[in-house]
Amino acid sequence: MDENITEPMRLSKRMAQLGLCSRREADSYIEKGWVKINGQIAILGQKVSLTDRIDLEKQVHEQQAARVTILLNKPVGYVSAQAEHDYKPAISLITEQNHWTEDNSRTHFSTKQLSGLAPAGRLDIDSTGLLVLTQDGRIAKHIIGETSNIDKEYLVRVKGNIIDGGLALLNHGLSLDGKALQPAHVIWQNQDQLRFTLKEGKKRQIRRMCELVGLQVVGLKRIRIGKIKLGALPQGKWRYLAANETF
């Protein structure tokens, strides 16, 4: 057994570990006096043990409830995060004009929602489909945290001739950057399109996997993250994650 498992850890780390918020959010709540340890107001930098009781004031829950998560159908030509090489970031598409008219979440757009809004995961500049942007550290951790078990589904148009046994290798047996890939689920959707389901997301993973078996990707679209599907959301449009939806 790990001898360090019972050693005290920073309160912010413990709060993130419990899925209460991100470490940065935890520090903010502690500074505001919104966190109690065993009934006492916590202080920044405080250490706790696994048996200490952590309580959050109502202001935390109110602030978290006000945070939004946005689902965008990203077009080609937009980067997921910060602008680079004159390409615009995906967040620039989050405007009132681009809000999908069929969004039934009943949430009204405000420019305040852009503050702290960040992508939970990436989608290459030449890929399209579902991109999640969120103000909620809990959701980001759930999707892209080290312990995340959420799978993602893609439709991938390809050209070229696949090598013998190539489909089996795409499912399991390939390595990237000197490390074996986790098993995937890959099937032919039609004669020039594959359907990939992955639980990991190395940089340009699908394109590189296809190259290893003789295929070139000519179109890639993410259609699902966990339980959330892209559905009928038009390209370049966005909607809110509804209160009854989870990943």
Token pair in block for residue 241: 């994650």
What is the distance of C-alpha 218 from the center of its chain? 24
The residues, ordered by sequence, that sit 6+ positions from 203 with a Cβ below 8 Å of its Cβ are: none
Smallest Cα–Cα separation from 129: which of 99, 94, 153? 153
- Interatomic CA distance for residues 118 and 145, integer angstroms: 14
Smallest Cα–Cα separation from 131: which of 97, 191, 178, 89? 89
Q: Which residues of 165-177 are buried (b: 16+ CB within 10 A; e: fewer)?
A: ebeebbbeebeee
CA angle 63, 68, 74 (to 5 degrees): 155
Of 55, 103, 124, 177, catalytic: 124
- Interatomic CA distance for residues 23 and 14, integer angstroms: 8
Q: Are the beta carbons of 83 and 89 closer than 8 angstroms?
A: yes
Active-site residue flag, 124: yes
- Interatomic CA distance for residues 117 and 68, integer angstroms: 8
Q: Are the beta carbons of 33 and 41 closer than 8 angstroms?
A: yes
Residues tagged active-site:
124
